[in-house]
Amino acid sequence: MHTFTSADLAQMQRLGIRPEAVQQQLQRFITGFPPARLVDTVRPGRGITRMSEEEMAAYTALYEKRSQKMRVCKFVPASGAASRMFRKLYQYADSGEMEREVEVFFERLHEFAFYEDLVAVLGNTAAEMKALRKQRSPLLIRSLLEKEGLGYGHLPKLLLKFHRYPEGSRSALEEHLVEGALYAASEGKKAYLHFTLSPQHQHAAHAQLRAVLPKYEQQYGLQFEVTFSTQNPATNTLAVDMNNQPFRLPDGSLLFRPGGHGALLENLQGLQADLVFIKNVDNLAHDRIKAPTCRYKRLLGGLLLQVQQRVFGYLTRLDEAGPQPPPMLLEEIDAFLRQTLCILPPPDFDHRDLAARLAYYRNKLHRPLRVCGIVRARRHTGGGPFWAQNPDGSVSLQLIEIPQIDQQDEQQKKLLESSAYANITDLVCGLRDYRGKPFDLMPFRDEQAGFITHKSLGGRSLKALELPGLWNGAMAGWNTLFAEVPRITFNPVKSVMDLLEEGHLGE
């Protein structure tokens, strides 16, 4: 056990971090995390829910009817800074190294939604701007990224201008408001949205929201209730050096780092909503192709409500049946778990007595439920949806990230490389149980599903501990369905150049 100084303990107390949790983190750096155990890839009819046109229409109608009497919320993790979007531009401004991506940036600068704002901050005429673009002037990049200009390199993606429209450009925040109005309005014309942001960006986000909210409330004839939260500093994790000793800053203090998006489980828990849509902050489409996104969001919501209705019905019938439920009910539940929820029991299940099988059925049914939209992978870029083994020996559907997989194991590596689908962080979640009470989400997190990453600070190497990812280990104990959605609904912005892709441009 490591001995911390009184100053260390005081630092932990200020952050709300328990010393015993820090000791556990230190031990985890030594022992590591056990890898996920992949069992199979998913495919249509084998882990991916198939839907006929009639079923799709029925699910959509069910969502539109039921959502009006529910509290539906759109939850957007938006803490990350946008600086990584501009990596190539920073390199050019610093070194003058001209890559093709930078060349295209200057050539098509006038097509970006922020172009008029850039012209305004520079105070240039059209002819002067044209000359600066032709010269490939670093001044344009500095004016876009630095605080003396638009400051895009210091803002979160949420506050950046994404799309151009005849009536003016919209930021990512505005596009999320529009989406919320189109598919997440509930409780009689009210749209709830929640964004997680870093503390330093809260003021700017509130200011932008105040400026644009009246416009969209009038345009869509509804009331928005928008809230913001920050990641609890008590979820930060200790960093260590390459010898697994606490990493210390020049002033001698410990380095605690944000524990990744898995720490946002607390924020999700605090929403107290019936139904929550989760989406990445940068996955947004121009109005020109927004209809498929909204259609499939309603569809996924209806699929969740239909399956949730069956889960609630089975749990109610088990309550009514007592300790000796009819065999036909148990057979029905067993088939539902295997075929609809895609949960396969442990190998010894058939040898268990009635009480043990009943406990298993209740345990597997009484969980939060999520439906995840997935797309066909264009290339092997990361983790994704799999059948995976659970600690109790059962097998279910999981979203697994690459750091969770032991790629030294040839079988596991083969399953990873043969996966044909990708996770796009397109989720709808049911957060209440069959009695209408909100689930405590913490017991359904797999504490063993974190991972260790290598970073550097001030030229020094360090190791960081990531908590179980929000849609990975943090939801490992949830019941999960996968549904294929069209690629047109997936329009992420990882580089500023992605804003010139079809999904982000007007006519």
3-state secondary structure 235-252: HCEECECCCCCECECCCC
What DSSP assignment string belongs to 388-438?
Answer: EE-TTS-EEEEEE-GGGS-TTSHHHHHHHHH--EEEEEEEEEE-B-TTSPB
User: Minimum mean pLDDT among 259-268, 330-339, 435-444: which range?
Assistant: 259-268
Q: Name the nearest CA neighbour of 112 among 160, 56, 167.
A: 160
Q: Name the nearest CA neighbour of 107 among 82, 135, 85.
A: 135
Report d(CA 277, CA 268) in Å as an integer.
11
pLDDT, mean over the chain: 95
485 pLDDT tier (thresholds 50, 70, 90): very high
pLDDT of residue 381: 61
Question: Which phi and psi (to 5°) does residue 320 adopt?
Answer: -70, -30
Write out the two tokens for 471: 């849609």
Q: Name the nearest CA neighbour of 496 among 26, 222, 167, 108.
A: 108
Bridge partners of 376?
421
pLDDT at 315 over 80: yes
Contact 231, 474 (CB under 8 A): no
pLDDT at 334 over 80: yes
pLDDT at 76 over 80: yes
pLDDT at 114 over 90: yes
Instruction: Report the percentage of the chain scoring pLDDT > 90.
Output: 92
Convert 23-59 to b/e letters by CB count within 10 Å (16 or more is b).
eebbebbeeebebbbbeebbeeeebbbebeeeebebb
- AA identity, residue 398: Q
3-state secondary structure of 504: helix
Instruction: Report the percentage of the chain scoring pLDDT > 70.
Output: 99
Contact 261, 469 (CB under 8 A): yes
Within 8 A by CB and 6+ apart from 27, the residues are none
pLDDT, tens digit, 9 for 90 and up, residues 356-366: 999 999 999 99
pLDDT at 383 over 90: no
pLDDT, tens digit, 9 for 90 and up, residues 197-254: 999 999 999 999 999 999 999 999 999 999 999 999 999 999 999 999 999 999 999 9
Report d(CA 136, CA 133) in Å as an integer.
5
pLDDT of residue 372: 98
Q: Name the nearest CA neighbour of 163 among 21, 296, 282, 18.
A: 282
pLDDT at 380 over 70: no
The mean per-residue pLDDT over the stretch 10-34 comes to 96
The mean per-residue pLDDT over the stretch 31-46 comes to 96
For residue 370, CA distances in Å to 33, 273, 393, 399, 416 come to 25, 14, 21, 11, 23
- Identify the DSSP state of 169: -
3-state secondary structure of 99: coil
pLDDT at 102 over 90: yes
Report d(CA 25, CA 31) in Å as an integer.
10
pLDDT of residue 167: 94
Within 8 A by CB and 6+ apart from 470, the residues are 77, 261, 262, 264, 265, 268, 278
pLDDT of residue 141: 96
Report d(CA 102, CA 92) in Å as an integer.
8
pLDDT at 188 over 90: no
pLDDT of residue 98: 86
User: Three-class SS string for 317-334?
Assistant: HHHHHCCCCCHHHHHHHH
pLDDT of residue 143: 96
The mean per-residue pLDDT over the stretch 270-293 comes to 96
pLDDT of residue 245: 96
Report d(CA 273, CA 184) in Å as an integer.
12
Walk me through the domains of the chain, giving residue ranges and CATH numbers. Answer: 6-80+168-504 (3.90.550.10)
pLDDT at 403 over 70: yes
Convert 393-402 to b/e letters by CB count within 10 Å (16 or more is b).
ebbbbbbbbe
Write out the two tokens for 160: 């950046």
Bridge partners of 388?
38, 396
